[in-house]
Structure 1
Amino acid sequence: MRLLLARWAGPLAVKAAVFITVMCCALAALLGVLVHVSVTDQTVGNARDLALSRLSDATRAYEAGDTLLPNAGVDPEGLPDSLRALALSGRRGTVVSTHRGRPTMWAAGPIQGHRALAVEIDYSQQSGTIAGLDTSILWSSALAIGATVLVGVFAVSRVTRRLHATARVARRISAGDLDARVDDPRTKDPVRPQDEVAAVAAALDSMAASLQSKLLSEQRFTADVAHELRTPLTGLHAAAELLPPGRPTELVRDRVAALRTLTEDLLEISRLDSGRERLEADAEGLGALAERVVRASGTETEVRVVRDAVVETDRRRLERVLGNLVANAHKHGAAPVLLTVHGPVVTVRDHGGGYPEYLVAHGPQRFRTEGGAKGHGLGLTIAVGQAEVLGARLSFRNAVDGGAVATLILPVASQAR
């Protein structure tokens, strides 16, 4: 079963928590073993000294013929075999075992007659002390580990939350929102030391500001050029109309018309860049609108209505988008060109060489064409901009069997007319 984690609790927070837990467990285990060994050695050593001391007293009493103490005896019942063998070999020793259901410290040594004299001491108190110590070590280690993990996770979560906030801003910037900023408080207070996260946030904000400045400069340049060209082109167009009929006149008029189209495209792009475009939405039938666009284009484009739909849209802008897609398919692709309406989804497909890789990956870019294609790359740029104004989504891909496919997904009208 997958763990349900908070949005900020990503892999970094989980790894940090696991690392802290493992290190705390290792440290607690090491300290616990050291304390256990030290206390056990001391406790066992004291019990052994006491047992050997009583064994010496019992040995002197046995040799003097006195009565042995109650806890001393010759070859007593329950004496561990290993200690009995040690005593019969002529040496003295001690061992802890269970006798009559309780821990017992035995001490044994040799006596005459190849027998063993042994003394037993109740080891219950010492055994209980060691067991209580072990329990205390386990509980204190668990509490210390829990507290350390909580503090560590809290500290790491603060860093991961800031990292996630920075990542969200980066995604907004990549989506085109150049007004997005992290605005980390640490970057604005020169007194507070800046950590690595604050440095990344400051670098991201600086990059966004630089990109925004360059984009605004480019937009202003495009708008200024288009406006400056519009007036002389109007005069040039009027002068071309006064030229006498002939082939040179046709060439001049054709080039003037192309230049006027380019200027109008630049003006349209500058208006889209400004973000001041407003919709004049109304319910429109997609099938009939697609037929009108194809007729107006004067191209041999097949219109296929799989399922008609009514959408809330700006008719002029939608006609501009579809017109640009159809014109691009005929200009840069190859016949047959098919415009398909399937509900709120409109596709325009040709059977040429397909879109360039950069266009499929990043979308159309103004003044960029590849493969010897003619044009300025403005038609599809305008189509994307107008689609955004419509609230639609325009995507580009290449068909598996060849050809370029542009897909426009429109919002559906809430009520049909």
Structure 2
Amino acid sequence: MTARPRRPRAPAWTATLTWKAALFIAAMCCALAALLGVLVHVSVTGQTVRDAREKALSRLTEVTRLYEAGEPLPRFAGLDPAGLPAPLRRLVADGERGSALGSYEGRPVMWAAGPADGRALAVRVDHSVGAGTIDALDRSIVGSSVLAIAATLAVGVFAVTRVTRRLHLTARVAGRITAGDLDARVDDPRTRDPRRVRDEVAIVSGALDTMAASLQRKLRGEQRFTADVAHELRTPLTGLSAAAELLPEGRPAELVRDRVRALRALTEDLLEISRLDAGTGTVDLAVHRLGPLVERAARAPGAEAEVRVVRDAEVATDRRRLERVLGNLLANAHRHGRAPVEVTVDGPEVTVRDHGPGYPEYLLVSGPQRFRTESGGKGHGLGLTIAAGQAEAIGAELVFGTALEGGAVARLRLPEYGRPDGTGEDIGGTGDGGTGETGGTGAVPPKP
């Protein structure tokens, strides 16, 4: 069974509004020019033919009197002349007079004929001037139509382009808002001045600006609420934690301390999320060996994992934030997955994999969501949310997936520090804790 040939795809520019508007304008201009051209052509041709017919019939009347008087006929008249159109001969044979367009010696003429003693008495009138006038008129109609279509098309494309430019601006602003830039606004001049009449594009732009402002107010209100609640909880939690330590040893005291620790962890997570949402934290960039950083994170209590370094690399990152991302990924793997938990370092990419049921479908489609977990285990759904936010803060890409053999897979790709060809360079030193950190914080310039 042979595969059906694929239909060629039209270029992308043919789907634009400018192209469609230009095509519509051109089609309408062509149709209008053709209609007007036909009307003018028919009108002028009919008037020219009527004048030539009247002149030929008038000459036929004069020539008929000369023939009946026995006088010689002029050179433009004759009996049964060659070139007389056949329809006109049949009309004369029926005893009637008439006229018809024809030619004589290669020139257009108007014939007029009538019966005379059983023969056709005919005259001819030169129609070259009329035919030339009609040809010149047709050329003028075509030329003026082309100019009119080109001018109308240029003006129409210019007008449509101004509209589409504003639509593209609105779409770009909508994209910036989707990406998290809630300060982005279209600021169409027609929406700022109430005295100006607003068109449809201005109405859409104004609606987008109003929606963005409303969304910004709501999100900032929620961020302030989350931060205020977390801050207000800190003081009573401190007192509650101190009081719990004074309880006599026993099962009730252990339960109280466990819940206090869980509540304190939740409060710290809420504070961290509020800082990530507000973007108030600073990012201290430095150059680190990725392998030692991952190994140290995998040795933390509750985050133990097998580490395999395929290829080490130097990365420009914030060590504290990176350790937070790795710690949350490993803790999530232990809490919701199954052992063994494996971590692989391949250049600037770190892969964390467990052998559990894998991430839920909603997370693979929409990413981590706060206070949502479907595994039935402990947690508030904030760990992966914080990991994704911290990864974005340090310029890393965090992708969640499922292994072919089963299990959850999280891939973290960091910006590699090295030469333009991608090869790293040993910058020496062990830094703090043997992590390969080179001194200094802040932005790291590229190597020469």
Please confirm whether the aligned pair reaches a TM-score higher than 0.5, indicating the same fold: yes
Partners in 1 of 2:92 and 2:342 — Cα distance? 106
Alignment counterpart, residue 338 of structure 2, candidates 334, 346, 350: 334
- What is the distance in 2 between the residues matched to 1:123 and 1:258? 107
Residue 359 in structure 1 maps to residue 338 in structure 2: no
1:63 paired to 2:61: no
Structure 2 distance, partners of 1:43, 1:11, is 48
- Counterpart code for 2:366: H
Matched, 1:289 2:261: no
Mapped to 2, the partners of 1:73 and 1:335 lie a distance apart of: 118
Name the structure 1 match of 2:111.
106
**CA-to-aligned-CA distance 1:67-114 (integer Å, 9 cap, x gap):** 1111001111222223223222322222222321221111122221x3
Q: Give the 3-state SS of the residue equivalent to 1:296 in structure 2.
A: coil
Please name the residue that 2:146 is paired with: 142
Q: How far apart, CA to CA, are the structure 2 residues paired with 1:68 and 1:34?
A: 40
1:309 and 1:344 in contact (8 A); partners too: yes
Letter in 2 for 1:224: D
Indicate the residue corresponding to 2:59 in structure 1: 54
1:410 aligns with 2:414: yes
Q: Where do residues 11-410 of structure 1 align in structure 2 (5 Å cutoff)?
A: 11-112=16-117, 114-299=118-303, 301-370=305-374, 372-410=376-414
- TM-score normalized by structure 1? 0.93
What amino acid is aligned across from residue 180 of structure 1 in structure 2?
A: A
> 5+ unaligned residues in a row in structure 1: which ranges?
none
Using the alignment, how far apart are the partners of 2:121 and 2:164 within structure 1?
A: 70
Contact 1:397 1:404 in 2 (8 A): yes
Indicate how the Cα distance of structure 1 residues 295 and 97 shifts in structure 2: closer, same or farther if over 3 A, else same: same
| Aligned-partner Cα distance in 1 for 2:377–2:129 | 95
| CA 401–62 in structure 1, closer or farther in 2 if over 3 Å, else same | farther
2:439 corresponds in structure 1 to none
Q: Distance in 2 between matches of 1:147 and 1:373?
A: 71
Question: 1:323 is aligned with what amino acid?
Answer: G
Q: CA deviation at 1:184?
A: 0.7
Following superposition, the deviation at residue 413 of structure 1 comes to 0.8
After the TM superposition, which of the residue ranges 217-226 and 101-110 deviates more from structure 2? Answer: 101-110
Segment of structure 1 superposing worse, 282-291 or 332-341: 332-341
CA distance in 2, matches of 1:197, 1:315: 47
Q: Which amino acid in 2 is paired with 1:84? A: R
When residues 402 and 66 of structure 1 are mapped into structure 2, their CA distance, relative to the original with a 3 A threshold, is: farther
Question: What secondary structure does 1:66 align onto?
Answer: coil
Deviation, structure 1 residue 302: 2.9
Secondary structure of the residue aligned to 1:266 is helix
Q: Mark the runs of 5 or more structure 2 residues left unpaired by the alignment.
A: 1-8, 419-423, 428-448
**What displacement does 1:335 show?**
3.2
Provide the alpha-carbon RMSD of the alignment: 2.0
1:106–1:371: structure 2 CA closer, same or farther, 3 Å change rule?
farther
In structure 2, do the counterparts of structure 1 residues 278 and 86 end up closer, same or farther at CA, with 3 Å as the change threshold? same
Partner Cα distance (1:390, 1:160) in 2: 37
Give 1:299 shift. 4.4
Q: Which moved more, 1:398-407 or 1:288-297?
A: 398-407
Question: C-alpha separation between the residues in 2 aligned to 1:354 and 1:71?
Answer: 104
Tell me how far 1:209 sits from its aligned partner. Answer: 0.9
Structure 2 distance, partners of 1:395, 1:154, is: 44
- Counting aligned pairs with the same residue, the percent is 68
Instruction: Tell me the CA shift for residue 28 of structure 1.
Output: 1.1
Contact 1:10 1:160 in 2 (8 A): no
TM-score by length of 2: 0.87
Alpha-carbon offset, residue 373 of structure 1: 4.9
Contact 2:302 2:331 in 1 (8 A): no
Amino acid at match of 2:64: T
Query: Structure 1 401/105 Cα, relative in aligned 2: closer, same or farther at 3 Å?
Result: farther
Contact 2:336 2:375 in 1 (8 A): no
- Contact map agreement 1:297 1:327 (CA 8 A) in 2: no
Distance 1:255 1:295 in 2: 25
SS in 2 for 1:267: helix
Q: CA separation in 2, counterparts of 1:410 and 1:379?
A: 19
